Amino acid sequence: MPDVLISVKNLKTNFYTYAGVVKALDGINLDIYKGETIGLVGETGCGKSVTALSIIRLIQWPPGKIDEGTITFEGRDLLKLPESEMRKIRGNKISMIFQEPMNSFNPVFTIGDQIAEVIMLHQKKTKKEALAQAIEMLKFTSIPAPERVAKSYPHELSGGMLQRAMISMALACQPELLIADEPTTALDVTIEAQILELMKGLKTKMGASILLITHDLGIIAEMCDRVGVMYAGNIVELADVSTIFKNPSHPYTSGLICAIPSLATKQACRLDTIPGNVPNLIRPPEGCRFHPRCSKAMDRCKKEKPGVYDLGNGHLVSCFLYAEGQKQ
Ligand SMILES: Nc1ncnc2c1ncn2[C@@H]1O[C@H](COP(=O)(O)OP(=O)(O)O)[C@@H](O)[C@H]1O
Ligand code: SF4
Ligand SMILES: [Mg+2]
């Protein structure tokens, strides 16, 4: 059994809006192992970003609130730490890169100064030492002319360069967990391939764990060791990547894989699978939240929430088809 770096148990995050309570996370359980790249995949609105923001405790109140659960990291529950303690972890031991790098940088300071700032916040370094380390980090992400980039302002860089600079900033303190939320969605395909290549290299060089969030199963196949499939606030299936593609067991996962022609070869399925939409999470369906869209739904699916069933080798599925006596 690999060492667990961070363990999320029964995480429930809600948004208290005027229209009602958005029950965004419905009890997430997830162990992230040391040194692995684990993916979270699912359609827009299924709770991937909220999971990431909850782990790093950046859910803004109002309207968001983590109402239940534990997130154990180095023997402590992150959800119980005062914000001052959390600030020592954020950007240092756990850091995050976002889809839109412009939002991570302040437009009025240079890239070098901003990376140096993060370093000085967590390490006893002079400004000069921190700036030198910032340039090293820029080199590490293969930025050409790192000295010049360090002196640049965010608006002077292209999207791909800015994404590299944000990765440099996230890695400046050599975090144990890097959370990457759709890190390449805003980039064109050539730059996307470069950034993914860069992240693969970083994993080998730094040994950090990566939580990679994407709606793109192709990226999951290329980058991840394991993957959690999310639907409407739940992780409905979790397994190593080859199991997910060769033996998808939750009806939602099968549908997602069928939706990609190149991956659907072994599956007997139509290409326009999964009719319907992600449900409104203010009034989510009772029982299994997937039941209105599920071609295999049974009576109990409409009333009870399925538990998690272990199909062996860490393959977990939350679906009544795998309940005792009902195995298919
Ligand atoms: N600030 C917010 N206020 C209200 N609802 C929110 C907020 N942020 C996220 N949500 C809701 O939480 C659910 C999960 O969203 P999110 O995690 O962003 O999905 P995704 O999987 O696309 O990253 C969605 O229903 C979304 O509308
Ligand atoms: S629990 Fe029922 S509705 Fe939900 S995915 Fe399984 S079969 Fe379909
Ligand atoms: Mg998102």
pLDDT exceeds cutoff 80 at 92: yes
Amino acid, res. 58: L
- Is residue 181 within 8 A of residue 98, CB to CB? The reply is yes
142 CA from centroid of ligand 1 (Å): 34
Report whether residue 289 contacts ligand 2, using a CB cutoff of 6 Å.
no
Q: Supply 227's token pair.
A: 């993957």
- Is residue 195 within 8 A of residue 165, CB to CB? The reply is no
Neighbouring-strand partners of residue 95: 178
Return all residues near 227 (Cβ < 8 A) that are at least 6 apart: 38, 39, 40, 41, 220, 238, 239, 240, 241, 244
The H-assigned helical ranges of the chain are 48-55, 83-89, 111-122, 127-140, 146-150, 159-171, 189-206, 217-223, 241-246, 251-258
The neighbourhood of ligand 3, an ion, using CB within 5 A, equals 48-49
Supply the pLDDT for residue 279. Answer: 87
Report how far apart, in Å, the C-alpha atoms of 270 and of each of 251, 255, 258, 267 are.
13, 9, 7, 9
Site to substitute for ligand 1 among 12, 14, 15, most atoms within 8 A of C-beta: 15
- For residues 100 and 18, the model is more confident at 18
Domain boundaries, the chain: 1-93+175-328
pLDDT exceeds cutoff 70 at 261: no
User: DSSP code of 314?
Assistant: T
Q: Minimum-distance ligand to the CA of 180? A: 3
Q: Minimum-distance ligand to the CA of 100? A: 3
Averaged pLDDT, 149-166: 94
Report whether residue 112 contacts ligand 2, using a CB cutoff of 6 Å.
no
Supply the pLDDT for residue 102. Answer: 83
User: Into which CATH architecture does domain 1-93+175-328 fall?
Assistant: 3-Layer(aba) Sandwich (3.40)
- When mean pLDDT is compared across 18-32, 97-111, 228-242, the lowest value belongs to 97-111
pLDDT exceeds cutoff 70 at 130: yes
pLDDT exceeds cutoff 80 at 22: yes
pLDDT exceeds cutoff 80 at 259: no
Return all residues near 255 (Cβ < 8 A) that are at least 6 apart: 269, 273, 274
Report whether residue 291 contacts ligand 2, using a CB cutoff of 6 Å.
yes
pLDDT exceeds cutoff 80 at 49: yes
Supply the pLDDT for residue 271. Answer: 40
What confidence tier does 67 reach under pLDDT thresholds 50, 70, 90?
A: very high
13 CA from centroid of ligand 1 (Å): 10
Return all residues near 277 (Cβ < 8 A) that are at least 6 apart: none
Report whether residue 47 contacts ligand 1, using a CB cutoff of 6 Å.
yes
Supply the pLDDT for residue 325. Answer: 61
Q: Is 190 exposed, middle or buried (0-12, 13-18, 19+ CB in 10 A)?
A: exposed
- When mean pLDDT is compared across 32-36, 154-158, 200-204, 254-258, the lowest value belongs to 200-204
Cα distance between residue 68 and residue 322, in whole Å: 27
Q: What does DSSP say about strands 177-181 and 209-214: parallel, antiparallel, or unpaired?
A: parallel
pLDDT digits (tens, 9 = 90+) for 53-66: 999 999 999 999 99
Report whether residue 287 contacts ligand 2, using a CB cutoff of 6 Å.
no
pLDDT digits (tens, 9 = 90+) for 268-320: 454 445 777 888 999 999 999 999 999 999 999 999 999 999 999 999 999 99
**34-43, 191-200, 250-259 — which one is most confidently predicted on average?**
34-43
Amino acid, res. 307: G
pLDDT exceeds cutoff 60 at 104: yes
Peptide bond into 251 cis (omega under 30): no
Taking the CA of residue 168 as centre, how many other CA atoms within 13 Å lie in the half-sphere pointing to its CB? 32
Supply the pLDDT for residue 272. Answer: 47
pLDDT exceeds cutoff 70 at 267: no
Supply the pLDDT for residue 326. Answer: 60
pLDDT exceeds cutoff 80 at 328: no
Q: Minimum-distance ligand to the CA of 230? A: 1
Nearest CA to ligand 2 atom 6: 319
